[in-house]
Structure 1
């Protein structure tokens, strides 16, 4: 066999794998972007912000679908049971997703096996906010009022066991106040209820909560994260106040069905990275109080595995079960 023939055969051998890789990366019908919460929450805002750019990148329509219920697990289960071809994606607060395996004794899917991390997208700190009828202007006054009047303070949250519910438990336990935790069907419903005075306090992602605070329908008291928010410079951080869960917040990420080919996962991750860097999108995300945290599938999986372990300890300590 001469050198030219050998090189020709080698090149021919590469055609099939490369062809398969290209096919795995191609979108041949519309893509469903599943939001497992009601419209108006952080996941929904981000999905609708990214959908037009992803439509252009994928060459197929990206359709945002809200599939609510069970603290996000109904939507997540839909994706987990979809074909592993990258055409059904989940956008979710992944801290909330990480709590699910420890909350349910009968869980409909295996999180590590049935969902494939694609990329983290953003981190948005939580804002602890209250209805203006609560007679408190700052953290000290709120803690004193909550301790003295626990029946008068209901804490609205996005669902039992989700990230803002568990953060609320940790914080109010730290206060020594036995407050009533009220679950709603997602963060948007909880925000609406607190803004209407149905519940009196909420801990929720800044992306969705900040507009209510700017309008005066909610009063911001404290924020999570490493620094105060530019829009609320007088509102202290949990860390400044010595409260627990200072690093909690809403971590939005995208996952595909487990078994989706790695080239397809990488293609989606790269397209999301590009979409997140579009100047108008980046400006909108910053204006919503969020930080771009796009990273690859491997580091996202490591982060998610750690979150599962961290929040499982909180769930066990509070004996929370959903079945």
Structure 2
């Protein structure tokens, strides 16, 4: 047996006891993992990747359930109004969730009261990509084309007020370009639309977008995050280009009903972080262009509170209201 295989087995041996801490006695019926977007997006990809290990950890089936609409708020409300027993979980781009309190004056749930952070999962940078029919090869050409063709460049995004929509607004303002923002029911739908040429530009999570760029269906122009992506070494970062929102991206996390007892929240967090550490899962996450950011409930809550404040400033500056 080679050294890599031995190390993989050793890592797996360390992870399995942690997974078993979420014992079957704690879960007496199937666990719902609610994805508030359509299948094929980043949240859905990660949910389906983790579900088998969580099923083994909980001793109950973990069922991925797509509940779409309202920029993720319909799915979030399902979890907010669920029983506080740890059997209903929400996996979502939490930056998108963090925009909800400032975008909606009549949300059906209170984010801080009705949803309890369990753990952050991953960070995946955004890729800004274009349909190959757009006559641009790089960032400078894209900016020049957008400025020369006001309202003729359609930007597909996952829904009004979500993270990639707000990032697109900031970038367009920085360019001094008048782009047409086109909302879809989630990132997967936006990707499909741009790949078909229905819209020409997309800013979306690398986990879901990179395969389209590798296939040549889309052309990668720029990426967010601290460094260029290994799979796209010639594609510059927003920071290199001097663009705003350079640290934006999709931050996937898991929350549960706000009244769930702390011991159950901690047990869920332990199981999720252990599942993220399973060697095959960790390798798959890295291959998707994502970074493991699994952490406990307290640090996740601190991060989420900060994001709520950060995006509230962006929403106010752009005078965006959805009700």
TM-score bracket, normalised by the shorter chain, equals over 0.9
Name 2:298's counterpart in structure 1: 298
Name 1:170's counterpart in structure 2: 170
- Scaled by the length of structure 2, the TM-score of the pair is 0.92
Higher-Rg member (1/2): 1
Alignment of 1:160-309 (within 5 A): 160-309=160-309
Work out the CA distance in 1 between the residues paired with 2:23 and 2:272.
19
Alignment of 1:84-233 (within 5 A): 84-233=84-233
Name 2:82's counterpart in structure 1: 82
Work out the CA distance in 1 between the residues paired with 2:151 and 2:109.
38
Per the TM alignment, residue 25 of structure 1 is displaced from its structure 2 partner at its CA by: 7.4
CA displacement 1:118-147 (0-9 Å, x = unmatched): 000000000000000011100000000000
Work out the CA distance in 2 between the residues paired with 1:319 and 1:96.
17
Q: Which SS does the other structure have where 1:127 is aligned?
A: strand
Per the TM alignment, residue 105 of structure 1 is displaced from its structure 2 partner at its CA by: 1.2
Work out the CA distance in 1 between the residues paired with 2:23 and 2:60.
15
Work out the CA distance in 2 between the residues paired with 1:60 and 1:73.
26
Q: Is the 8 A contact 1:24 1:85 kept in 2?
A: no
Per the TM alignment, residue 150 of structure 1 is displaced from its structure 2 partner at its CA by: 2.3
Work out the CA distance in 2 between the residues paired with 1:212 and 1:192.
10
CA displacement 1:284-314 (0-9 Å, x = unmatched): 1000000000000000000000000000000
Work out the CA distance in 2 between the residues paired with 1:280 and 1:271.
16
Per the TM alignment, residue 177 of structure 1 is displaced from its structure 2 partner at its CA by: 0.3
Q: Is the 8 A contact 2:23 2:59 kept in 1?
A: no
Alignment of 1:305-316 (within 5 A): 305-316=305-316
Q: Is the 8 A contact 1:27 1:59 kept in 2?
A: yes
CA displacement 1:83-129 (0-9 Å, x = unmatched): 00000000000000000010011111100000000000000000000
Work out the CA distance in 2 between the residues paired with 1:219 and 1:152.
18
Work out the CA distance in 2 between the residues paired with 1:272 and 1:106.
32
* 1:322 is the counterpart of 2:317: no
Work out the CA distance in 2 between the residues paired with 1:200 and 1:282.
33
In the TM superposition, structure 1's runs of 4+ consecutive aligned residues that sit over 3 Å from their partners are 22-25
Q: Is the 8 A contact 1:34 1:64 kept in 2?
A: yes
Per the TM alignment, residue 152 of structure 1 is displaced from its structure 2 partner at its CA by: 2.5
Work out the CA distance in 2 between the residues paired with 1:169 and 1:156.
12
Q: Is the 8 A contact 2:23 2:58 kept in 1?
A: no
User: Are the structure 2 counterparts of residues 154 and 25 from structure 1 closer, same or farther at C-alpha, using a change threshold of 3 Å?
Assistant: farther
Q: Is the 8 A contact 2:35 2:65 kept in 1?
A: yes
Q: Which SS does the other structure have where 2:266 is aligned?
A: helix
Q: Is the 8 A contact 1:139 1:221 kept in 2?
A: yes
- Scaled by the length of structure 1, the TM-score of the pair is 0.92
